[in-house]
């Protein structure tokens, strides 16, 4: 960018300061500073509700070069984004490309961020920032302008972020005769699309909705932001559903909720997994899947009850990446089989889940 430069700073709770220039909305913000190592997919990442409350650092050095698509809809779902709006609190990057080029682009990244009042800072040494987070763990931070630092730090994980991003009333996406319930804890649109492509009617319900009131062939507990232990209503509803033997699939936060409902524990990871190339091993095999991930919490597999098993684990740090019941149709994956962005190598898990339905 060559015009409208404005001095900006990212300040971390440990006192570290990263100087840069602003783009997007020129407003101060605060949140939990995290990083994503993906090379593509910033429109999908910025609209992923799992980033709600967070300041996102993208480590890939060139951002904005292919612009942002429009708001076209398909099957009553916005086509190119993972939710209806930008979910992050702020964006931190190394180089911002003001000039963009893509057949599907309708606007620049900066203009799109201005629409939703999301601030950004570029010309930051994202390598140094990422190394700091990897060493110290996730840090709280704030983005300020022109030395005006009258905004404090705030830990979003102390709030029930799921309640903030979930829909308030049920929504039905009509397709075929078979029906699936998606408990919206901050669901990505591509999870809905995955079932619509398979000719399922989708009933999307709020995070605290008693979904057993609905008639369906299976239940999906979606991804979402924050601490899964705060989703007490969802956990209780899943516990009740266990007695009905209805097939249940948990994705990301949904897998953590499934574990909590089963009686296991969850914990916060040092800096989380946010990328498109996380290697996950399937327990009992030599098969490794490359997966798309975005989470900061995990199930402690050592606390799983006797009738549950670890299904996948992360080949980098050996943390849990999936659980399943030994005899009932209850499954959870910490990674995202629907991808968007990232590889869709594990999308077959949706078909496996559907085969568990009577």
Same domain, 282 and 168: yes
Verify cis geometry, omega within 30 degrees of 0, for the bond prior to 214.
no
pLDDT digits (tens, 9 = 90+) for 239-282: 999 999 999 999 999 999 999 999 999 999 999 999 999 999 99
Same domain, 142 and 288: no
Please identify, among 143, 158, 173, the residue that sits at the C-terminal boundary of a domain.
158
329 C-beta neighbours (distance < 10 Å), count = 17
Please identify, among 158, 179, 205, the residue that sits at the C-terminal boundary of a domain.
158
Same domain, 185 and 135: no
Per-residue model confidence (pLDDT) at position 334: 98
CA–CA separation, 258 and 246 (whole Å) = 13
176 phi, psi to nearest 5 deg: -90, -170
Who's near 203: CB < 8 A, 6+ residues apart? 170, 171, 172, 179, 180, 181, 182, 211, 214, 216
Same domain, 186 and 55: no
Same domain, 116 and 41: yes
CB 263, CB 305: distance < 8 Å: yes
**CA distances (Å), 229 to each of 76, 154, 218, 226, 308, in order?**
32, 19, 23, 9, 19
Same domain, 204 and 149: no
Specify the 3-state DSSP secondary structure of 7: strand
Q: Taken in order 130, 135, 141, 144, is the CA torsion positive or negative?
A: negative
2 inside domain: no
Same domain, 150 and 175: no
**CA distances (Å), 282 to each of 289, 324, 348, in order?**
8, 12, 14
CB 291, CB 338: distance < 8 Å: no
Task: Write out the residue range of the structural domain in which residue 218 sits.
Answer: 161-355
CATH number where 139 lies: 3.50.30.20
181 inside domain: yes
Helices (H), 198-297: 232-242, 253-262
- And the tokens for 90? 């702020």
CA atoms within 13 Å, Cβ hemisphere of 322: 23
207 inside domain: yes
Per-residue model confidence (pLDDT) at position 6: 61
CB 1, CB 239: distance < 8 Å: no
Per-residue model confidence (pLDDT) at position 17: 96
Please identify, among 110, 129, 158, the residue that sits at the C-terminal boundary of a domain.
158
Tell me the catalytic residues: 252, 336, 338
Q: Taken in order 31, 37, 38, 39, is the CA torsion positive or negative?
A: positive
pLDDT digits (tens, 9 = 90+) for 16-53: 999 999 999 999 999 999 999 999 999 999 999 999 99
- And the tokens for 5? 């430069």
Per-residue model confidence (pLDDT) at position 4: 52
Same domain, 97 and 217: no
Same domain, 214 and 350: yes
Same domain, 187 and 327: yes
Same domain, 213 and 286: yes
- And the tokens for 269? 């990871």
Per-residue model confidence (pLDDT) at position 2: 44
Same domain, 227 and 268: yes
Per-residue model confidence (pLDDT) at position 3: 46
Per the DSSP assignment, residues forming a β-bridge with 158 are none
Could you list the pLDDT tens digit for every one of the 358 residues in the chain?
444 556 899 999 999 999 999 999 999 999 999 999 999 999 999 999 999 999 999 999 999 999 999 999 999 999 999 999 999 999 999 999 999 999 999 999 999 999 999 999 999 999 999 999 999 999 999 999 987 778 999 999 999 999 999 999 999 999 999 999 999 999 999 999 999 999 999 999 999 999 999 999 999 999 999 999 999 999 999 999 999 999 999 999 999 999 999 999 999 999 999 999 999 999 999 999 999 999 999 999 999 999 999 999 999 999 999 999 999 999 999 999 999 999 999 999 999 999 999 7
CATH number where 348 lies: 3.40.50.880
Overall domain count for the chain: 2
CB 170, CB 203: distance < 8 Å: yes
1 inside domain: no
């Amino acid at each position: 960018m060559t015009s409208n430069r404005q001095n900006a700073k990212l300040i971390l709770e440990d006192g570290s300061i990263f100087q840069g220039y602003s783009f997007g909305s020129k407003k101060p913000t605060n949140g939990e500073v995290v990083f994503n190592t993906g090379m593509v997919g910033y429109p999908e990442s910025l609209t992923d509700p799992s980033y709600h409350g967070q300041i996102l650092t993208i480590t890939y050095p060139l951002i904005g070069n292919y612009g942002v698509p429009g708001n076209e809809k398909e099957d009553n779902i916005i086509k190119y984004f993972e939710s209806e709006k930008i979910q992050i609190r702020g964006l931190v990057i190394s180089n911002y490309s003001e000039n963009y080029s893509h057949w599907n682009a309708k606007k620049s990244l900066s203009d799109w961020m201005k629409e939703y009042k999301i601030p950004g800072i570029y010309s930051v040494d994202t390598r140094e920032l990422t190394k700091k987070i990897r060493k110290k763990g996730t840090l709280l931070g704030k983005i300020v302008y022109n030395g005006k630092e009258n905004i404090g730090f705030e830990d979003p994980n102390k709030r029930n972020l799921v309640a903030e991003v979930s829909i308030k009333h049920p929504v039905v996406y009509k397709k075929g005769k078979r029906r699936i319930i998606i408990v919206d804890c901050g669901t990505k649109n591509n999870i809905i699309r995955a079932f619509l492509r398979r000719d399922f009617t989708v009933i999307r319900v709020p995070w605290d909705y008693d979904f057993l009131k609905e008639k369906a062939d299976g239940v999906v507990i979606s991804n979402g932001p924050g601490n899964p232990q705060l989703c007490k209503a969802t956990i209780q509803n899943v516990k009740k559903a266990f007695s009905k033997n209805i097939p249940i699939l948990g994705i990301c936060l949904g897998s953590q909720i499934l574990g909590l409902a089963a009686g296991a524990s969850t914990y916060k990871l040092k800096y989380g997994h946010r990328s498109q190339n996380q290697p996950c091993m399937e327990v009992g095999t030599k098969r490794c899947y490359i997966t798309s991930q975005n989470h900061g919490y995990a199930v402690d597999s050592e606390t799983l009850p006797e009738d549950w098993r670890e299904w996948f684990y992360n080949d980098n740090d050996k943390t849990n990446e999936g659980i399943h019941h030994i005899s009932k149709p209850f499954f959870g994956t910490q990674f995202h089989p629907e991808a968007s962005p990232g590889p869709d190598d594990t999308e077959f898990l949706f078909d496996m889940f559907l085969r568990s339905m009577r």
